Each structure stands twice: as structure tokens, then as C-alpha cells.
Amino acid sequence: MAKTLFIDGKEVEFTDEPNLLEVIRKAGMNVPTFCYRPDLTSFGACRMCVVEVEGRGIQSSCTMPPEEGLKIHLNTEKTRRIRKTVLELLLANHDRNCLTCEKSGDCELQKYTEEYRIDKIRYAEKEDYLPIDDSSPSIVRDPNKCILCGACVRACSEFQGHAVLGFANRGSKTLVQPLRPLGQTDCVNCGQCAAVCPTGALTIKNNIEDVWAKITNPNVKVVAHIAPSVRVALGEMFNLAPGENSIGKINAALRKIGFDMVFDTNFGADLTIMEEATEFLERLKSGENLPIFTSCCPAWVKYLESMHPELTHHLSSCKSPMSMQSPVLKELVPKILGVDKKDLTVVAIMPCTAKKFEILRPEMAHDNVPDTDYVLTTKELGKMIKSAGIDFETLEPEVADSPFGEYSGAGTIFGASGGVAEAAVRTAYEFATGEVLQDVDIKGLRGTSERCKDLELDIKGTKVIVRVVSTLKEAEKSLQEIINGTAKFQMLEVMACPGGCINGGGQPRSCDDTKIKSRRAQGLYKEDSELPVRKSHMNPSIQKLYQEFLEHPASHKAHELLHTVYTDRFKNSYKDV
């Protein structure tokens, strides 16, 4: 039942909002905050979101629950003075080299400093600078830009069940840091810490200049392939709505930048389904190594290798769509372009920071040549387009190059939590029964708000329970069921990021608006519904690849290029020190 309170004299309704800040936002207003994120527990650390409540004085709006009849004032002399003082204190202890900061232009501290007209700082500037930690392949940590909001600590703990980042020391010596350099910890490289960081303290390791160097080298041919969820998020960096499919503009932008050919990782997703559906049916028939775990998410794979190496036999041996598509391109595109394999550079455009780790795995190379040379995140590609002077909004859409740019709707939905499982079921059903699956929309596996979904399916008399989870903290619960012998599901899809790849660590910021994930997912399902081919095995280019090159799913050639093995990382982790 709706109740009411008053914000700056305006009567506002509220129902189940957890705090005043959410009520304020629902009413179309806002107050600044550094530490609050709707998907995380309220922390109340930064004190930027203070409001003045009649009869209660100054309150933190992110921690105070709404009450009937409250009279709240957002911008009084006291609240603005407190916010300005907070900003001055933060700036006094902050590296102010904003022009060269990776987060410049996208930094909340920078934004609020301008909005609150902080042109003079009364406190002495920071002198004792700490070293930057760039040991991770995915994330750069600069402690000199940390404002101790704790968002990264909570994201690591509440999303992934990890404690890679934590608070150390006390008082003025307090720091957020890992026990070791980040690259030497059990960090899974998911990038959610960087996604929620309001400043440049945690940023994505940037490979833009590496890619530019290849593009501008006349002796090198450079090709790109684009992950499903990039198409419904990149446009946000160019004033398009979340979920708007901009794949045609992305193809055009990449060609303008100088890429020689542009493909679509959805093709690799269709390839993954051919192999994974076959593998699942083989396991279902033999009863061995069930439940099968999806292996598309590199953060999930590393987590399992690090924390539960005894369960890695449950993982599908299939590589991720990126790591399937890249070796196919390395093998076949040199013949199309008339170049040597060594002169071809493959760049994958991904929503995921963990993909930067994945391409460094020795299993993702052939004859010491990496299958994927570079990963650019969605945000990196956006910056690259801007630096090239391209007007993204006015670009005429273009199609990807054939044959590795053709895909089914099943390939598209890989970007949302539940999409891999749904795509696999569409193909597995027809492989197992020889019949046409009429209703391909398996809506029980969809949704970005629930982090665990179970669905029982009937494959012509065989009952199969499919479980879909997002976040590793949720995945751990399913692993414990397997360990305890109580698991009833035969397939487990895991995505480390809340909502799946649409909310990956390399995507434009979405942590302040939970609706953005849903809109991005809807954009993928919309494309799926509009495509003429909606099952991976019905993709004509996939069929042709098997006929002319791979022979059949699970063939020797397919295993050589498309499958992998896993590593026991536990024995080499810091837990043994």
C-alpha cells in the first residue's frame, strides 16, 4: 500500500523502497553519492547523500528508511556545505592529475567537483603517493585515487563471494587493497570492482594504443569480432538508449577506424552450441560428469579452477564463443585476405574484462601463436571511436563480413543470463529427437533480477532440469548442492556478472540503474525474435563450416580447435603460502 512523504514541499508516494535515496530518485530528483549502488548493501560511508529531515536533522539518505509524513529538504545551506566539505577533504587526499587519468570525463569525483564549484581547496595536497598496481591482465589499481567508498569491497564480496579487496590499516592510514598484487591473487578478473568504482582507483587495463599500432602498420591485416551484448550497450556512450541495437553502426565504425574485416562473435556462439549441445547429450546418455557446467564465462572458469578444482570435470570442454571464433579466423581468414597467418591480428570486442585474462591462457594458442591477439572492452571501443573523430549517431548501418558474421538468434541471446542454456536447449532438443522445436522462446530461463532460476524440460520423455545462475556467490550455492549430493539439475549455466554479459565489467556504467540490465537483455531478445534463423544448427554458415572444414560436432578437428582443458590453480594460490 502506497504511503506519502514530502520532498522539498512536493508530496511523493513510496511503497517498498529500501531508503530515502531510492524514493528521491523515483520522484525524478537526486542527491549525489559515491558509495551507494542499488545492487549492493547500503554502506553510508561517503556522506554525500545527506538530506535535512524536519525534526531529525541531517541524515544519510541511503541508509534512512522512508516513513509516512517525513518532510525532507535536499539542498539546504547545511546539506550543500557538508557536501562541499566532503569533496574538499577527498580532493586533499587525491591524485589530481585528472587530465591523464583513465577515468577523466567519467569520474564522479570530477563531476561533483564541477557541480559544487570547488575551485579552491583549503587543505594541503597529498604528498606520499603509493605505487600503482598493474599486475592484473584486466584491472589497474591506483590507490592514490581511492576515496574509501567501499563499493569495490562490497561488489567483490556480495557478487562473487570473494574477499580479494578489503580495508587495511586504521584512521588516516586506511587503504582498500588486496593481500598481494592483484595479479597474484585469486581475483577472477570480472571487473565488477571497476564497474562500481566512482573514480580512477580501479580501471580497465587499456589496449587501445596496442590495437592502433597494428591498424596503422601497413604490413598487418587486422580483423575484429563483436560479442552479443556489445550491440545493446555501446550506444549508451553516444546518447542512444540502453538496449538499442547498434550493431550496424558498430560494423561501420570499425571499418572507418581501419579494420580490414569485421565479423560477429554470435557466429562463435552458434559454434559453441553445436559442440556443447552434442557434449551435453553424450553426457546425458552416459550419465557421466553431470551436471554439465557451461564454460563461456572466463571468470567462472577461473573461480572453479581456483576454489573447486575437484569439480572441473563438470565443465564443458568447449571454449567460449570468443575462443572458438578466433582460431577459426586465424586458420581461414589469411586465405581470404591472401596473407600469412603471422600477419593477421584478431581483435575481440567484448563486454568482459576477464576476456583479457582468457586470451593469455596457454590453451588459447596454437603453435605459440595466440588465437586472440587483443581484447577491447565495450568502453575501450567507445573511446577509440571518439578518438577517431567518428560521429557514431549519424553512421549508416553496415552488415558484418561473411561467412563469419552470419548468426542465429540463439547466438544473440548469449549476452543475457539464461541465454546460453536457452540456445543449447533449442539445439539439443532437435539433435536428440529429430523433431522440430516449435516454441523456441524458453522464457522460464530469462530475467535479470533473479540470480537463480530452475526449469524442468521434457525432451521427448527425458526430464531435464536446467539451472541458471548469475554471480559466483550464487554459483557457490549450487556447487555445495553437488558436493552434498543434493543437486537435481543436469545443466548449470553460470555467469559471473549480475544479469550476465550485458552487465559485464567492460560495459558502460549500469550500476546506478538496475533497469539498464533489463533493457539491454530485452534488446537481445528483440533481435532474436526478428531474425529468420533462431537455432544455432540452422545457421547456413555454420553448416557450411562443418561440411567443408570441421566435418561434424565433436570431430577430431573440432576438438583440436574448439575444445580445451582446465588447470588446478588451487595448489599455486596464496592459500598455500
Pair (396, 313) in one structural domain: yes
Pair (198, 225) in one structural domain: no
Q: What is the pLDDT of residue 448?
A: 85
Pair (447, 468) in one structural domain: yes
Statement: residue 301 has pLDDT above 70:
yes
144: domain CATH number is 3.30.70.20
By the 10 Å C-beta count (0-12 exposed, 13-18 middle, 19+ buried), 356 is classed as buried
The helix-helix angle for 378-387 and 208-215 (nearest 10°) equals 50
31 alpha-carbon distance from chain centroid = 27
Statement: residue 281 has pLDDT above 90:
yes
Pair (225, 354) in one structural domain: yes
Which residues are CB-neighbours of 397 under 8 A, at least 6 positions away?
247, 248, 249, 251, 252
Banded pLDDT at 120 (limits 50, 70, 90): confident
Pair (65, 107) in one structural domain: no
Interstrand relation of 175-177 and 261-264 (parallel, antiparallel or unpaired): unpaired
Low-confidence winner among 162-176, 200-214, 280-294, 352-366 (lowest mean pLDDT)? 162-176
Final residue before a domain boundary, out of 41, 75, 109: 75
Q: If you average pLDDT over residues 356-380, what whole number do you get?
A: 96
Pair (272, 350) in one structural domain: yes
Cell for 390?
567518428
For the beta carbon of residue 571, count every other beta carbon within 10 angstroms. 9
Average pLDDT, the chain: 95
Is residue 372 within 8 A of residue 346, CB to CB? The reply is yes
Residue range 421-436, pLDDT digits in tens: 999 999 999 999 999 9
Q: If you average pLDDT over residues 514-527, what whole number do you get?
A: 95
Q: What is the pLDDT of residue 513?
A: 83
Q: What is the pLDDT of residue 575?
A: 41
By the 10 Å C-beta count (0-12 exposed, 13-18 middle, 19+ buried), 434 is classed as exposed
Give the domain extent around 510. Answer: 209-562
Banded pLDDT at 510 (limits 50, 70, 90): confident
Statement: residue 577 has pLDDT above 50:
no
Q: What is the pLDDT of residue 434?
A: 94
Statement: residue 124 has pLDDT above 50:
yes
Q: What is the pLDDT of residue 572?
A: 57
Calculate what percentage of the chain has a pLDDT beyond 90.
90
Round to whole Å and give the CA distance between 236 and 228. Answer: 15
Three-state secondary structure string covering 66-115 = CCCCCEEECCCHHHHHHHHHHHHHHHHCCCCCHHHCCCCCCCHHHHHHHH
Residue 123 falls inside a structural domain: yes
Residues taking part in catalysis? 276, 279, 296, 316, 355, 358, 363, 501
Tell me the C-alpha to C-alpha distance, in Å, between residue 130 and each of 89, 94, 183. 18, 11, 17
Pair (521, 459) in one structural domain: yes
Q: If you average pLDDT over residues 186-215, what whole number do you get?
A: 97
Q: What is the pLDDT of residue 574?
A: 40
DSSP 318: B
Pair (436, 301) in one structural domain: yes
Cell for 349?
570486442
Pair (172, 273) in one structural domain: no
Final residue before a domain boundary, out of 204, 237, 252: 204
Statement: residue 480 has pLDDT above 50:
yes
Final residue before a domain boundary, out of 175, 204, 233: 204
Q: What are phi and psi of 301, to 5 degrees?
A: -60, -45
Q: What is the pLDDT of residue 94?
A: 92
Statement: residue 24 has pLDDT above 80:
yes
Pair (117, 56) in one structural domain: no
Pair (374, 273) in one structural domain: yes
Residue 237 falls inside a structural domain: yes
